[in-house]
Structure 1
Amino acid sequence: MNKDIQIPKVEDVYIAVVYEYNDSYKTNDWNAYIINDKEVDLEMVLIVTSGYSEEKVTSTFRKKLDVLPKKSYAKIELMQEDLFALNNTFKVSFFEGNKMFDKTYIFRKNTINLKALQSIPLMEVRGVLVK
């Protein structure tokens, strides 16, 4: 029976933590984004985030997007720098057509930092990316 279950592989959907200037507060902030680099819209996108280590566990944050259009991105949450000492998980589920996709993205502890910044697809900014 288990061999009959097909779990489709998630491709061209990423999570990025971007270091960017906040005009309202005149500060540099870290923000998490979901990126849809596909040629199709994603529907009913559910994102569940949390941080953990051997000693600590953060509260769980949930976000729902009805549609994430093709070749676009959406802000998930503001991230405080204290969280970077933890492993941060982003569990993402969505529908593409009639199929449900699911993937867990993990930013390992201390991997989100200024030295790790790289070019982020579609956004034309620098940040830390997990594929």
Structure 2
Amino acid sequence: MKQDIDIPEVKDVHVAVVQEEHLEYKTQDWNAYIINNSDTDLDTVLIVSQGTSEDKMTPPMRHTIAKLPARSYAKIEYLQEKVLELNNSFKVTFFEGNQMFDKTYIFRKNTINVKALQNLPLMQLKGVLVK
């Protein structure tokens, strides 16, 4: 049964974490984004994020984006500094037309830092990217 379900490989959809200035509090905050670098709109984007380690676990956070247009991005959530010490996973499920896609993006513990910043597609910002 389960083996009969065909879920194709996800291409041109990424999760990135960007350090941005919070204008009100004047702090440097880490925010997670989903990037749709494809030529097709994504529908019903469901994201479940969670931080884990051998002895710690954050509660899962659930997010929904009704439509993510082609060549665009959307903010998922703010990441507290303590969460960066954990493995952070983002399970992303979406529809492209009538086809369902699913992929889990994992940021290993302590890999989200200023030394790991790189140019991000579409955003004109630097961040940590998982493809």
**Residue 103 of structure 1: SS of its match in structure 2?**
strand
What's 1:129 paired with?
129
Residue type of the alignment partner of 1:73: Y
TM score, norm. by length of structure 1: 0.96
TM score, norm. by length of structure 2: 0.96
What's 1:85 paired with?
85
State the distance in 2 between where 1:14 and 1:22 align: 23
Q: Does 1:24 align with 2:30?
A: no
Q: How far does the alpha carbon of each residue in 1:44-102 deviate from its partner, in whole angstroms, 9 at most, with x for none?
A: 00000000000001011000010000000000000011111110000000000000000
Displacement of 1:26 in angstroms is 1.4
What's 2:12 paired with?
12
State the distance in 2 between where 1:5 and 1:63 align: 24
Displacement of 1:6 in angstroms is 2.1
Q: Identity of paired residues, percent?
A: 63
Matches within 5 A, 1:98-113: 98-113=98-113
State the distance in 1 between where 2:119 and 2:93 align: 25
Paired residues in the alignment total 131
Give unpaired runs (5+ residues) of structure 1.
Answer: none
**Residue 84 of structure 1: SS of its match in structure 2?**
helix
Give unpaired runs (5+ residues) of structure 2.
Answer: none
What's 2:97 paired with?
97
Q: What is the CA RMSD across the aligned residues, in angstroms?
A: 1.2
State the distance in 1 between where 2:57 and 2:3 align: 35
**Residue 21 of structure 1: SS of its match in structure 2?**
strand
State the distance in 1 between where 2:21 and 2:106 align: 24
What's 1:53 paired with?
53
